[in-house]
Amino acid sequence: MKIKKSSVTLLVALPLLLLAACGNGSSSSNSAATKGNLADKQVVNWTETAELPSLDPSLATDQISFDAMNNVGEGLYRLGKNNKVLPGIAKKTAISKDGKTYTFTLRKNAKWSNGDKVTAKDFVYSWQRINNPKTGSQYAYLYSGIKNADQIQAGKKPVSSLGIKADGNYKLTVTLEKAI
């Protein structure tokens, strides 16, 4: 009977100890979150189940990397509440009459973490790098359907022939093989 009582006590006490260990050591009235300082400093505390394998969008293949990239970066679009597709860096999208050419107008206030502006050339570089067979991206096939992507990945066309181009700093044009 003593074994059962100690087992029950352990089962009740262990979760309480673990919860206590999760505290930050300060009372809630003195915490920075209560005072609003964390929002001002833009601090994020993040916990993952393993080390971060990669922040390279061309080479990442795991959920931990994708979670981190989704939380620190933004693409042309983003998912909002209830998975609604919202504008991200692209503030406007125009589609050609034949449905094969998409022109994205980018926000001019988008910046990298070092303060540099995000431009259409950054997207061109990244998409070409992912499709370049020398990069070895396991997810390059996701770009199938973009003009010449399959031939580039097969090493039959140059990376520069990918159906993406920068028209100045804030216009990005993507050409597809066929309308979707």
* Extents of the domains making up the chain: 90-175
Cα 163 to Cα 87: distance, rounded to the nearest angstrom: 21
Task: Tokens for 168, please give them.
Answer: 């100045």
- Mean predicted confidence (pLDDT) in 17-33: 44
Q: Region 111-115: what's the mean pLDDT?
A: 92
Q: Within a 10 A sphere around the Cβ of 63, how many other Cβ atoms?
A: 12
pLDDT tens for 141-171 read 999 999 999 999 999 999 999 999 999 999 9
Element (H, E) at 74: none
The per-residue pLDDT for 39 is: 54
Q: What pLDDT, in 10s, does the model give residues 88-102?
A: 999 999 999 999 999
Which residues are registered as beta bridge partners of 175?
101
Q: What is the per-residue pLDDT for 36?
A: 54
Q: pLDDT (tens digit, 9 = 90+) per residue, 4-21?
A: 444 444 444 444 444 433
Q: Specify the CATH architecture of the domain 90-175.
A: Alpha-Beta Complex (3.90)
- Is residue 180 very low, low, confident or very high in pLDDT (cuts 50, 70, 90)? confident
Alpha carbon 147 to chain centroid distance?
24
pTM of the model: 0.73
Whether 120 contacts 164, CB under 8 Å = no
β strands within the chain, DSSP E: 77-79, 85-87, 90-95, 101-106, 164-166, 171-175
| Torsions phi, psi for 63 (to 5 deg) | -65, -35
